[in-house]
Each structure stands twice: as structure tokens, then as C-alpha cells.
Amino acid sequence: MSQAAEVNKLAETVTAVGFFQLPGQAVFDHEKQQVAAVSRAPGNLDLFVIGYDNHVWSTFWNEYAGWSDDWFPLPGQAVFDHGHQEIAAVSRAPGKLDLFVIGYDNHVWSTFWNDHAGWSDDWFPLPGQAIFDHEKQQVAAVSRAPGKLDLFVIGYDNRGWSTFWNEYAGWSDDWFPLPGQAVFDHEYQEIAAVSRAPGNLDLFVLGYDNRGWSTFWNEYAGWSDDWFPLPGQAVFDHEYQEIAAVSRAPGNLDLFVLGYDNRGWSTFWNEYAGWSDDWFPLPGQAVFDHEHQEIAAVSRAPGNLDLFVLGYDNHGWSTFWNEYAGWS
């Protein structure tokens, strides 16, 4: 069966229900936690969440075996504040996973997995003296090219801050503030970061005006001088919502957020047409708690999007899009 036929068959199976429940008995705190989703190679998905026990838990899917039977805890003794923190997950190269979280000490911590050695024995703190508000902030992590990692967070000064790693030099000595005068509400907002092509970074955040704002970096020109508002009239609750950003193919960006109506909303950009005129609601009747939940978005292969969210029933829910069949 061709890939297009397989995708169409799957789409037909779930069209009637839209979002669907993931397998397993494990449950997580939908009022405090969000799912982190990443694809470490085409045809693979890995999900992460902090459990009621403050340990990090995971489940996975691949195109051969489908979903794991249930969630499982990651190795190590480190625990993190499940009432305030969420995991940032990124793949810097096929067969590699890196996770980040702000610890009780307000420093950023990390662990990693690769397909040769498996998981690191435990989490470790990143270098540097900078600290961030673990009760309010989350780390955004992105890989702009194989062997590179960039992290972002909003500081106590309400500005965006960053640090980076590469396979040649390791971690930067410390975090640094991004250029520009724009500030954002560090008590409610987190940065969404994505790489739409090697050597490019795009950041997104909801402003005090409840609109989406962005800034960008590329290896030729460096950082934009300042942040700018995205086009459109749609506004979202900056005190409860954050933007999820993903690139489904080079030169494409897709953004997602839960609206005041508790439905998923989206906007997009491509290098030919630029930004969509405004945000639009996703199809389906499913609604989610916009005061507690945010959408996690991932592209498991070019031309594919998968979204995840914890429902009112505390189980994980999902929907998907592909370039052949569109949205579930």
C-alpha cells in the first residue's frame, strides 16, 4: 500500500471522532501538566510529561509497532515540580533526544537519549549562573541544524534569554538576553521556538495585547532587531495560553493555540506567500480546558502534523494533518 493510501485509510478511521485517547492506564495532572512531543526520526514519536510523583514519564509510537502499551518513568533520581514545570523535548539528530526543564533551584536541567546507549543515568544542571522562575517559566528547546541546540526562556526582566550547545564546543558559558526592547509577561508566557530550515530560528509568544509576536535569527544576518506582532485580529488568553510552533517542511511554519472557545486555532507561514491573514479554528467538536492546557505540536515526517493535549478526562488526546487528506 502506498504512503498516500495508508494515510488516507488512517484518516478515514479517525475522522468520525477527531481527537482520540492514547493507550495505557497512566494518568497525569491535566490542570498542571502539558505533553511535550518530538520526532527523533521519520515515523517515530516520543511524548514526555511530569507525573504526580514529580518524575518524568514517557510513551512512544512508531510506524511498525504503533503506540507503546503504557507510559513509563525515565531513569534517574532527579524530580521536578509537576505543579509548575513542563518538559521541553528536542531531537538534534536522528536517533537522539534531549530534554530540558527548570529545577527547584531555578537552574535549567537536562537529560538525553540516543539509540546506541539509551537514556542518561540521571539529569544534570546546565553551566552558567543565570536563573529563571521555575514557578512561572518553561524552557523552549530547538535544533537549528544537526549537532546544535538552542534554548530560550523569559527572564525575571520579562525579556527573552538564550543559551546554546554544539557538538564541537559544548555548552555556552552562560545565558544571554536577546536583542530588542519588547518585553513579555514572564509570569504567564513562555517562548515557542522552531527551526524552519537549517540555520534559521523563529520564536513566538503571546504579548500583553493577547496577540502573537515573533522574532527570528538566521546564520547570515543574526537576530532581528526586535520582536513584531503577527498579522490578524484574533487574540488569545495570554494569562493561560502559549503558542505551539512547528515546521512541517523546510520553509513552512504552523502555529497552534487553544482559543477562548476551548477549540484549537492555527495560523501558518510559508516562504512563498508569507503569513496567513489571520488565525482559524481547527475542524472538529472536541474542546479542551484553555485555562489549564496547551497544545503540543510535532511533525513526524515532511507534510505531516500531529497535535497532542490532555483532556478533561486527564488522558492524552490527539489529532493530525497530512498534505494528502488534510485535517482529521
Which pLDDT value is given to residue 8?
A: 38
Q: What is the mean pLDDT of residues 168-183?
A: 95
All cell numbers assigned to 228: 513584531
| pLDDT, tens digit, 9 for 90 and up, residues 204-250 | 999 999 999 999 999 999 999 999 999 999 999 999 999 999 999 99
C-alpha 4/C-alpha 146 separation (Å) is 28
All cell numbers assigned to 170: 559544548
Tally: H helices and E strands in the chain = 1, 30
Residue 236 included in any domain: yes
Residue 15 included in any domain: no
Which pLDDT value is given to residue 10?
A: 36
> In sequence order, what are the residues at sequence separation of 6 or more whose Cβ sits closer than 8 angstroms to the Cβ of residue 319?
18, 19, 264, 282, 284, 286, 306, 307, 327, 328
Residue 14 included in any domain: no
Residue 321 included in any domain: no
C-alpha 149/C-alpha 171 separation (Å) is 9
Which pLDDT value is given to residue 4?
A: 38
Residue 7 included in any domain: no
Residue 98 included in any domain: yes
User: pLDDT band at 2, cuts 50/70/90?
Assistant: very low
Indicate the average pLDDT of the chain: 90
Q: What is the mean pLDDT of residues 54-75?
A: 95
Residue 326 included in any domain: no
Residue 13 included in any domain: no
Structural domain span for residue 158: 29-314
Q: What percent of the chain has pLDDT over 90?
A: 75
| pLDDT, tens digit, 9 for 90 and up, residues 222-233 | 999 999 999 999
| pLDDT, tens digit, 9 for 90 and up, residues 15-25 | 334 567 899 99
What are the angstrom distances between the C-alpha of 223 and each of 140, 235, 263? 17, 26, 33
Short-list 300, 315, 305, CA closest to 45: 300
Query: pTM above 0.85?
Result: no
At residue 71, does pLDDT exceed 80? yes
Upper half-sphere CA count for residue 296 (Cβ side, 13 Å): 26
CATH of the domain at 86: 2.120.10.70
Which pLDDT value is given to residue 3?
A: 36
All cell numbers assigned to 233: 485580529
Count of the separate structural domains present in the chain? 1
**Quick one: DSSP state of residue 61?**
E
